[in-house]
């Protein structure tokens, strides 16, 4: 099955930039789209961005538009999240996720909820100091 492992988190300062990575292994040919979510203490898992694995079409949450960039390298099987101008409210555990083909996902109406995804990484923690 598909396996995902995030890395690249750590302690950073307000205004810094950070690139998170997600290594993808297993049957990558079954993946239709991937996404990034984050979860802060006491809050629900929050959608950040998604990208179709082959086509590269993206969609972002309004709250991160302009600061976050999602990308993928299909040769190396790595998903990335570039975060610029970090803020203290960005402090959270960041998760990557993958999903297979479904009518709703292909139509672009099923990628903003955690239940839209089939596979998850273990998460990488980002702490932004002020």
Structure confidence at residue 105 (pLDDT) = 85
User: What residues in the chain have per-residue pLDDT under 70?
Assistant: none
Q: Which residues are CB-contacts of 103 (< 8 A; sequence separation ≥ 6)?
A: none
Structure confidence at residue 95 (pLDDT) = 98
Instruction: Write phi, then psi, for 75 (nearest 5 degrees).
Output: -75, -45
Which string of DSSP letters, residue by residue, matches 33-67? EEEEEEE-TTS--EEEEEEETTT--EEE-TTTTTT
Structure confidence at residue 108 (pLDDT) = 87
Structure confidence at residue 37 (pLDDT) = 98
């Amino acid at each position: 099955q598909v396996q995902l492992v995030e890395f690249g988190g750590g302690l950073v300062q307000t205004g810094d930039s950070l690139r998170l990575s997600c290594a993808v292994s297993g049957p990558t040919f079954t993946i239709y789209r991937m996404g990034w979510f984050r979860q802060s203490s006491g809050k629900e898992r929050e959608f950040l961005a998604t990208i179709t694995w082959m086509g590269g079409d993206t969609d972002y949450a309004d709250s991160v538009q302009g600061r976050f960039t999602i990308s993928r390298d299909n040769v190396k099987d790595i998903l990335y999240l570039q975060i610029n101008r970090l803020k203290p409210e960005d402090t959270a555990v960041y998760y990557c996720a993958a999903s297979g083909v479904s009518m709703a996902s292909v139509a672009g109406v099923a990628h903003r909820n955690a239940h839209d995804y089939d596979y998850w990484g273990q998460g990488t923690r980002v702490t932004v100091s002020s």
